[in-house]
Amino acid sequence: MTVPPAAPGLPTVQVAVASAVLAAGVQAILAASGLHGAPAGEADVLIVDDAWLADPDALGGHPALVALGSGVWAALLPDLSAGGWAALGADATPAELLAGVLGAAAGLAVLPPALLPSPTPETPADDLQDDDPAGAPGDVILTPRERDVLALLAEGLSNKRAARDLGVSESTVKFHVQALYSKLGVQSRAGAVARGISLGLVSV
């Protein structure tokens, strides 16, 4: 069976997700819209899932990336993609998937409303007021690497400097930072440090 050619002006897509069922569903949605595949490494857009979070640097430099799954992709993709990107939930609708693929191919950044930042001028994202430790979860468990990253945040190190100190990539540090935000229930580095101190996870 031959793969029909992509419609004129539409990007080609490679689906590289771990689940065969998800891959089949994604490919069916794309094909129904005139988007078709290309040999590995030659597609305009690469679609991935959370299985790639184990080694996100392997995606570096691809022209356009669409990630399905975790919200941490929103922090990783800007550095991994050479062009546009989209971070979508695993339950993205066909319309959202198509918008993500076409937006990424056009060099845009695509996020679902739930992942869009919403700081106000009076309350910026890095303001500690948004991250008041009073509502801290009582049972936070961090991995050893997350504790290392939190300690470096407490020292005021940038992601690049933390990556150098830990001997890992900057993308890996960003992944751990996003995991810390999620576990600590905060949205900023200052909030993560304040929450970590209040829970006894880090000392300064």
Please report, rounded to a whole number, the percentage of residues in the chain having pLDDT higher than 70. Answer: 82
Q: Which helix (H) or strand (E) holds 87?
A: strand 85-88
**C-alpha to C-alpha distance for 39 and 37, rounded to whole angstroms:** 7
Q: Pick the closest to residue 75 from 168, 166, 182 (CA basis).
A: 182
Between 20 and 79, where is the model more confident? 20
pLDDT band at 139 (very low <50, low <70, confident <90, very high): low
Report pLDDT digits (tens) over 32-67: 888 888 877 788 999 999 899 888 888 877 889 999
Report pLDDT digits (tens) over 85-101: 999 988 888 888 999 99
**C-alpha to C-alpha distance for 32 and 46, rounded to whole angstroms:** 18
pLDDT band at 120 (very low <50, low <70, confident <90, very high): very low
**C-alpha to C-alpha distance for 36 and 32, rounded to whole angstroms:** 9
What is the chain's mean pLDDT, rounded?
A: 79
Whether 105 and 9 have beta carbons less than 8 Å apart is answered as no
Residue 129 tokens read as 């007021």
Report pLDDT digits (tens) over 153-166: 888 888 888 888 88
**C-alpha to C-alpha distance for 105 and 97, rounded to whole angstroms:** 12
Q: How many CB atoms lie within 10 A of CB 25?
A: 15
